[in-house]
A = this chain, B = another copy of it.
């Protein structure tokens, strides 16, 4: 198949290229697109060749079978219809279509069937994607009565510019210079900012409500009560999340661990006495989401668990989930 990556010079775009090669997604051609500003740049591919980036706005979608969209703003809205009408399937990483009832929102380990015959498939928000598998394991086996999540989100959630700002401004901090900010609302070095995306009427941010609504859509259960406090911290590219969960059925940490051992996409890191627990230091660059600190709930008696996870924001939080969707399209014969 002929693949196009849109936003190929951004943090998610670059990770998509890496993951496509890593996971050996078969392709006939891989074309790179970005905004006019980046057109003409050469990108080094994992196989050692380099590839020129074309202007995303000048693309002819009839030349492509599958497009990965990793461009935000109004771009997906302007292009998804064009692409799909030209016969090019789209996996969109933006929030544009995630809650559109006509567009499937897919975590392939959970709801691959949702893809159906849709030409356009939405990739979940990074925080949702990282949380989805560990949470779904609990949901399926024990039911979810209440879920409370507080996040420890990396700079990469704001793209390559976010990571660059964190690094540069940390240098300024350490050399006693003025610490600035453009990408983030406040200087991020050695700080914590409980503000990601815009604030909504209910006091929550859009980021927080994405976790709530997207999780419900992926699990196909609009009734799960979920609350999320989303917080940016000075970490480069792995999100961590603390969970307090009330289940419908009785559950023990060991029962949950045993289920996780059998689950693809997660790595149990839960031997705290030996200093084994999830951390960005170990989760960064990895495909699996680390799950650990699994404990009996102190507030929901025997029907609840506390735990902690860490997952790569660019990989499972974005690129690898999208590439897994492409594999699902191959498996079901919708692409070849």
Q: Which residues of A contact B (CB under 8 A)?
A: 146-148, 150, 152, 166-167, 170-171, 174, 185-187, 190-195, 199, 202-205, 212, 225-227, 229, 231, 233-236, 240, 242, 244, 253, 272-273, 275, 277-281, 292-300, 306, 308, 310
Contacts and interface: CB of A to CB of B under 8 A. Distances in A.
Would you call the interface of chain A mostly helix, strand, loop, or mixed? mixed
Given A226-B298, A299-B147, A281 B187 contact: yes
Contacts of A152: 152, 192, 231, 233
Nearest to A145: B299
A298 B225 contact: yes
Nearest to A307: B229
B275 A195 contact: yes
Contacts of A150: 150, 242, 244
Contacts of A204: 295, 298
Given A278-B194, A279-B194, A299-B225, A294 B203 contact: yes
A269 to B, nearest CB: 10
B191 A272 contact: no
Contacts of A244: 148, 150, 227, 229, 244
A202 B295 contact: yes
Given A152-B152, A190-B280, A280-B192, A227 B306 contact: yes
10 contacts: A148-B306, A185-B275, A192-B235, A194-B277, A203-B294, A203-B295, A225-B299, A227-B298, A229-B242, A234-B234
Contacts of A306: 148, 227, 229
B279 A186 contact: yes
Given A191-B279, A194-B277, A146 B299 contact: yes
B192 A226 contact: no
Given A146-B300, A190-B236, A227-B297, 12 more contacts: A146-B299, A152-B233, A171-B174, A190-B234, A192-B233, A194-B277, A195-B277, A203-B294, A204-B298, A225-B298, A233-B234, A234-B234
Contacts of A185: 275
A141 B333 CA distance: 61
B231 A308 contact: yes
A100 B72 CA distance: 57
A196 to B, nearest CB: 11
Contact of A235 (B170, B234, B273): B234
Nearest to A168: B174
A148 B278 CA distance: 20
